[in-house]
Chains A and B, each alone.
Chain A
Amino acid sequence: MSQPWAPLSSHAVLVARDDIDTDQIIPARFLTTTTRSGLGTHLFADWRYEADGAPSAVFELNAPASIGAQILVGGRNFGCGSSREHAPWALNDWGFRAVIASSFADIFRSNAHKNGVLTIALDAAVLQRAQDALRAYPSARITVDLAAQTVALADGTTASFTIDAFSKRCLLEGLDELGALLAELPAIEAWEAACAR
């Protein structure tokens, strides 16, 4: 069960790297949990903390300007690697509600949308502009209009993005996919009977 995805306007954190994999988003040693909560502490743990546990002085998430950011801007192929839903759980728990990149790994994108984390895929050139704008105006707000499928970047320009209609509807209405599937049970049972499964 998730909440409808509310309009979003926030400053952003820029981690301008391609192929950010789920082992970076949340390393495997934190996957022994049996709940969904509290994973924000471990978000990007190996980039965020030094060997002695102190916060890294260079990792973007630790910059004072990152506090309270609800948007993460990455590179190409964000979320590649494992199927761990702990990745969007960790992003969500930290406070992120949208990730902007030029492409996303399939399983990550699916997992993110089921947890109220919107993935916004921009053309590579537009993403470059979004990154440049953030470098120029690090504290500027980015505004996302999911209904209109537009994002107003830190430099004031607006870009449109595509999203499949079902994901959009689920996010906007807080629609629960399990509920939708449970409503299909009569059809599923009939199909099983017809196919002898």
Chain B
Amino acid sequence: MSGPRTLFEKVWESHVVRAGVDDAPSVLYVDLHLVHEVTSPQAFTVLRERGLKVRRPDRTVATMDHSTPTLPVGGRLNVIDPQAAKQLDALARSCAEHGIPLYGMGDDRRGIVHVIGPELGRTQPGMTIVCGDSHTSTHGAFGALAFGIGTSEVGHVLATQCLLQSRPKTMEVRIDGTLRPGVTAKDIILAVIAKIGVGGGTGHVIEYRGEAIRALDMEGRMTVCNMSIEAGARAGMIAPDMTTFAWLAGREQAPSGDAWRDAMTRWSELVTDAGATFDRSVTLNASEIAPMITWGTNPGMAIPVDGHVPAASPVPDSANERAWAYMGLEPGQQLLGQRVDVVFVGSCTNGRIDDLRAAAGVMKGRRVAAHTRMLVVPGSQSVKREAEREGLADIFRAAGAEWRESGCSMCIAMNGDTVASGQYAVSTSNRNFEGRQGKGARTLLASPLTAAASAIAGAVADPRSLL
């Protein structure tokens, strides 16, 4: 009999094909492999060179999201960059060759890989899920063990459906209490990263627990798990509950009928047992979290939206000095009122229907500031249709925002959507690294509420003033 176990341990142990020993990692089975155009071509090349087939195309799902344009021209999405077009063609050919289902250009179920996995019902509790993308941690919101892998490993999974993995450590992040109005899942995760640092979770799988996590809807839970990697964590997980089951019920590829009832019984056991221990534990109180915004060049450089950029300290801090200079900010200054040139609402972090509802709620009857450009990019074509049906798209357009087709867009700036050098962008995405949204672009990460409030003000604004 094994003793009390964490959620992570239960999922890990149920996928070990061969347990690791001193000089060899475990062979870990992968239930679901998500594939996109940017990190897969070289993996398919290796398969071809070695005469290998994709072992389980039924456990593989592909889409196109990173390099795809979001602005239709004459009713069509034309990929202008010939290199990107070649990469998209390569994925389409590889999927056809190996029998992998592809939600490609023109498919009404296409979208950002971490949005469509859950949306289709492919992402399920207790699964192991991998993708050549660090934000695969998103799927942990369903109680799956989901993590990003490199292209070599994409090849390993295509060929064998397994990975060689060393067992990570566990870390509990407990958020007690209740969030205040205007404070969202995005603010929770930015507060967590600010507290533990961008390397604070390295080598660990985080389980998010506590009253404030249980109170989040699935979109919020996905936002939290999505940015686990920004704290360096291997993955983030949240135990499935009735919120999870209600969200998944009836999804296209979720179990149905008797299989659904069996699955619910199985999934209900995916909780950390009383008495199970974590290697590390961190606690925050939700009532003390304010709307957060980043001021610097990594996601750990986050402060309350009405707070101050760190002041100069007697001991020189080269990271802060580089960040102040890159961001064009003064040590100790307030961010409220800082001019904003671009607002981006979208990405695998905050491009889901609930995120768009939150932003639209702030935008309704208001206008984007004259000097500010606002781009709203749904996370998937399905999110786009739903937003149009609910009238959210009309609210954004009436406010003067641009309403686009789905994709990674300005989060990664490799698809035509970029922020110009020197411009300030309040973005609901996940990374504020130098040049992330375009060479010289200055990114301030925030929630959809803060982004919308800032679009209206044309400057960094506190969403609580508009609620």
Q: Which residues of A contact B (CB under 8 A)?
A: 16-19, 21, 23-24, 27-29, 31-36, 46, 51, 76-77, 80-85, 103, 105-107, 110-111, 114-115, 164-166, 169, 177-178, 180-182, 184-185, 187-188, 191-192, 195, 197
Cβ-defined partner of A197 (8 Å) among B31, B81, B84: B31
For B, the interface residue count at a CB cutoff of 8 angstroms equals 67
Which B residues are CB-close (under 8 A) to A34?
41-42, 45, 86-87, 90
Q: How far does the alpha carbon of A63 sit from the alpha carbon of B42 in the complex, in Å?
A: 32
Contact yes or no, A169 B86, CB < 8 A: no
Judge if B207 is at the interface, Cβ distance under 8 Å: no
Q: How far does the alpha carbon of A133 sit from the alpha carbon of B53 in the complex, in Å?
A: 50
Cβ-defined partner of B421 (8 Å) among A51, A76, A115: A51
Asked, given contacts A84-B39, A105-B199, whether A181 binds B159 with beta carbons under 8 Å apart, the answer is: yes
Which B residues are CB-close (under 8 A) to A103?
199, 202
Judge if B352 is at the interface, Cβ distance under 8 Å: no
Cβ-defined partner of B202 (8 Å) among A77, A166, A180, A188: A77
Q: How far does the alpha carbon of A64 sit from the alpha carbon of B240 in the complex, in Å?
A: 56
Contact yes or no, B319 A187, CB < 8 A: no
Contact yes or no, B134 A82, CB < 8 A: yes
Contact yes or no, A76 B27, CB < 8 A: no
Residue on B with the closest CB to A112? B150
Which B residues are CB-close (under 8 A) to A107?
134, 148-150
Which A residues are CB-close (under 8 A) to B232?
77, 80, 105-106
Q: How far does the alpha carbon of A112 sit from the alpha carbon of B198 in the complex, in Å?
A: 20
Contact yes or no, B66 A106, CB < 8 A: no
Considering only residues 16-40 of chain B, those with a C-beta below 8 Å from chain A are 17-18, 22-25, 27, 29, 31, 38-39
Q: How far does the alpha carbon of A104 sit from the alpha carbon of B89 in the complex, in Å?
A: 34
Give B357-373 as 1s and 0s: 1 = Cβ < 8 Å from A's Cβ atoms.
Answer: 00000000000000000
Contact yes or no, B151 A85, CB < 8 A: yes
Q: How far does the alpha carbon of A166 sit from the alpha carbon of B165 in the complex, in Å?
A: 10
Residue on A with the closest CB to B408? A28
Q: How far does the alpha carbon of A195 sit from the alpha carbon of B266 in the complex, in Å?
A: 14
Interface stretch among B99-107, B302-310, B392-400, B427-435?
B427-435
Which A residues are CB-close (under 8 A) to B234?
106
Q: How far does the alpha carbon of A21 sit from the alpha carbon of B433 in the complex, in Å?
A: 7
Asked, given contacts A27-B439, A178-B46, whether A188 binds B160 with beta carbons under 8 Å apart, the answer is: yes
B164 to chain A, nearest CB (A): 6
Contact yes or no, B150 A36, CB < 8 A: no
Which A residues are CB-close (under 8 A) to B29?
188, 191-192, 195, 197
Contact yes or no, B67 A83, CB < 8 A: no
Residue on B with the closest CB to A108? B150
Interface centre among B18, B81, B86, B153 (most CB of A within 10 A): B153
